[in-house]
Amino acid sequence: MRIIIFIFFLCLFGEIQSQINVDSLKAVFHSDQSHDSTKYKTARTLIWKHYLEVNVDSALRYGDEILALAEKNSNRQWLADGYNSIGSANRIKGEYLKAIEALEKCVKINEELENEYGKASALGNLGILYMSQAEYGKALENMLYCKSTFEKLENVNGALNAMNYIGGIYIYQEEFEKADKTYREALTTARKEKNEMMEAFIIGNIGLLKQSMGDLDSALFYFKKGIEMDEKVQNVHGQMTTNLNVAAVYLELKDYENSEKYYQICHEYYKSLGEKKGVSMVLTSLSEIALAKGDQKKAMKMGKEAYDLAVEVGEVKQLSSISNLMYELYKKSGNTSKALEMHELFMEMKDSLRSEEDKKQVLQRSFQYDYDRKVMADSIAQLEKDKIAAKDLEIEREKTQIEKQKRNFLIAGLIALALAGGFIYSRLRLISKQKKIIEVQKTVVEEKRAEAELQKEIVESKNQEIMDSINYAQRLQSAILPGKADLKKYLKDYFLLYKPKDIVAGDFYWLESYENWTYIAVADCTGHGVPGAMVSVVCSNALTKSLIEEKITDPGKILDRTKELVIEKFNKGEGLRDGMDISLARINFNTGELEWAGANNNLWIVRDQHQNNIETNTENIYLEDFDQYERKLIELKANKQPVGFYENSVSFNTISFKLTQGDTLYFYSDGLADQFGGGDIKTGKKGGKKLKTKNLKTWVAKFSKYEMDKQVDHLETTFELWKGDLEQLDDVCMIGIRI
């Protein structure tokens, strides 16, 4: 069996969020503390990143949730996104009419909103549907529109994704030269953009092109190169898809050992996901390999398992493949009736692939056919039983005679044992007394041991409860932190240094984009560990609510409103005075405008010493020269109060500042400056002094000349050398952004 799996971004015509644990996302979505905008984003992430390819029903359910949120908030863009999700899910499920209806609604709404990106995304998903129906003309028309639109919008990833599909359409039409030209152009662009994940997909598709052309050696070369790149970018799904293609090529080359190795890798992956269709498909191939190697028993075992899964899933194409293989297996084993049954099922499944309605009818007939064949088989088996009934009766008589002889021997043995019993009776009484004494002693020991085990179980149970709460807090906190993709998208040239003291942290970082401004913050909440993490969730949600839902855009006013929300939340408890220190800015990267506000945490801007001077050393802005590094450090001063309960609190100030190209901004918590260390490595003397802000400023000024990835390496290494063997005292968080 030749398997060709095309490697496309099947969900890229919808926004892809960062990879977060599903349980964490579900917890955020169903939390009463989550606002509608957070729920909307979470539902999209669950659909496009987790459920669309492996759990379509869940994807549909969350699509309906997005529609409900859209109606509640009268948000037509959310409504369009909901229809896009539902349409894509129904396409994968095979409900093509429902898919078309939803996607056309999405197109119409986006046209009314003049949202070219949304319209192109929906038309792209319609194009995928047309591909699955072999309507390649319509599919190509949609994908060319997507490519053109995304290029006009300067959305390189969208254009590359459309080109991936265009190349696939050309392969289906056997226009290999056009496919090769398309993929080569896409590969050049992906490399120019340094998009390694897209590059891996394109390389895999070039492998499929070579496989379709019959150039199997070249196909293997590109597939393996694609796997290496998928491993590098940690794209497990893409890696497994390419593994399937490698296994298929080796199977075509009759290299059964290598083919089996790659299929086994995929089998474990699909099994871990509970993806029955994938498991059935891989088991079918493994059964085929076992048959080719002459291991008919193993082939039959795997084939039956694959068949049962295919019936359970009800996937006609897979039923067609496995029934054809089972026909061969039963024929070789001499079971002609089962072989005929499987062959007839294969022919029915083959015919049923022509339409979705035929699929349903043939499946029903196949199940009835299985039942009818079983009844017939039972009748034949009954005739065979009648023929051997006389022989069975004769064998039973012989068995009865043997049992009678056994009983006679047993009676004789019991009599002999009774005669010997009197002799050993007195000895048994003595042993019994000794045994009772030992049992009493043993009982005492066992009671002590049981008590110790009980105490151990109590301790282990408490420890497990603690770990469960920590892990739950970690999932919640992971869900609020922006992912690497979003940081890269909005901050461009940046670094992140994030080192929680424990598994979870009181420090967190926050990112949003609103009306051409990028909002970024680093915050330090009360405490660290689980308590700090729980406070960070409340504070992060309060920031999001202030900006996204209440549309407060001034940083100082955002902190004022966030303070009110935090106090309101914690006053519901027992008068808790938790809160956070924070450095919050909004940046317009196009104009160089910066507006900033802080609570106890300042903002540093490092600039080349030869840049124009600024008005400094005012109440809110302080300048410090680092001549040895040809740098000057501009410090924006924060209000000396937290975001939370504070006596005699005042409104937070907003400072406006004009940035210039080459400026580097540093947002930080106090974990770095408060760390004890400074020991001497040569003498072994342990450090016992704080790093302090002054020394940290020197580090920042010194390392600011490097590229951002080098800066974070230098900062982390220098911090670890300073700390030495001492314990990390607090959470550490710093974000650097180069303008």
The pLDDT score that the predictor gives to residue 217 is 92
pLDDT at 584: 98
Q: Is the pLDDT of residue 421 over 60?
A: no
Residue type at 217? D
Going by C-beta distance under 8 Å and a sequence separation of 6 or more, which residues neighbour residue 149?
116, 117, 119, 120, 158
Contact present, 188 and 180 (Cβ < 8 Å): no
Average pLDDT over residues 189-212: 92
Tell me the β-bridge partners of 658.
593
Quick one: which H or E segment has residue 632? strand 631-636
Q: What is the pLDDT of residue 529?
A: 61
- Pull the structure tokens for residue 575: 């008068």
Q: Kindly give, in sequence order, each residue whose CB lies less than 8 Å from that of residue 42, ignoring residues fewer than 6 positions away.
A: 25, 28, 29, 34, 479
pLDDT of residue 288: 92
Highest-confidence segment of 273-282, 489-498, 641-650: 489-498
| Residue of 313, 265, 293, 258 lying closest to 55 (CA atoms) | 313
Summarised one tens digit per residue, pLDDT across range 58-91 is 999 999 999 999 999 999 999 999 999 999 998 8
Cβ proximity of 139 and 131 under 8 Å: yes
Grade residue 527 by pLDDT with cuts at 50, 70 and 90: low
- According to the model, what pLDDT value does residue 109 have? 96
Q: How far apart are CA 339 and CA 329, in angstroms?
A: 8
Q: Is the pLDDT of residue 9 over 80?
A: no
pLDDT at 419: 35
Question: d(Cα 224, Cα 200) in Å, to the nearest integer?
Answer: 10
Q: Which residue has the higher pLDDT, 313 or 393?
A: 313
The residue with greater pLDDT, 293 or 579, is: 293
Six-digit token string for 106: 């999405």
The whole-number pLDDT of residue 184 equals: 94
Highest mean pLDDT among 273-282, 296-305, 470-479: 296-305
pLDDT confidence of residue 177: 94
pLDDT at residue 463, as a whole number: 62
Mean pLDDT for 34-44 is 90
Cα 445 → chain centroid = 51
Neighbours of 265 (CB within 10 A): 16
Residue-wise pLDDT for 104-148, tens only, equals 999 999 999 999 999 999 999 999 888 877 788 889 999 999 999
Q: Which of 7-21, 176-190, 432-446 has the highest mean pLDDT?
A: 176-190
pLDDT at 372: 45
**Residue 739 reports pLDDT greater than 70:** yes
Judged against a pLDDT cut of 60, whether residue 317 lies above it is answered with yes
pLDDT at residue 273 greater than cutoff 90: no
Better pLDDT: 517 or 339 = 517
Reply yes or no on whether the pLDDT at 416 is more than 60: no
- In three-state secondary structure terms, 22 is helix
> Residue 440: pLDDT band by 50, 70, 90 thresholds?
low
Can you identify the CATH homologous superfamily of domain 481-589+599-738? PPM-type phosphatase domain (3.60.40.10)
| pLDDT for residue 333 | 86
**More reliable by pLDDT, 304 or 20:** 304
651, pLDDT greater than 90: yes
Read off the pLDDT band of 23 (50, 70, 90).
confident
Nearest to 560 by CA among 464, 473, 636, 653: 653
Q: Hey, is 7 helix, strand or coil?
A: coil
Secondary-structure percent of the chain, ordered helix, strand, coil, rounded to 5: 65, 10, 25
Q: What is the pLDDT of residue 680?
A: 58
544-592: pLDDT as tens digits = 999 999 999 999 999 999 999 988 887 754 555 678 999 999 999 999 9
Return the minimum-mean-pLDDT range out of 383-397, 418-432, 635-649: 418-432
User: Which residue, among 475, 470, 480, 471, has the nearest Cα to 508 in the 3D structure?
Assistant: 480
Does the pLDDT value for residue 694 go beyond 50? yes
Residues 6+ apart with CB under 8 A from 208: 4, 5, 6, 7, 168, 171, 219, 245
pLDDT for res 559: 97
Q: Is it the case that residue 18 has pLDDT exceeding 90?
A: no
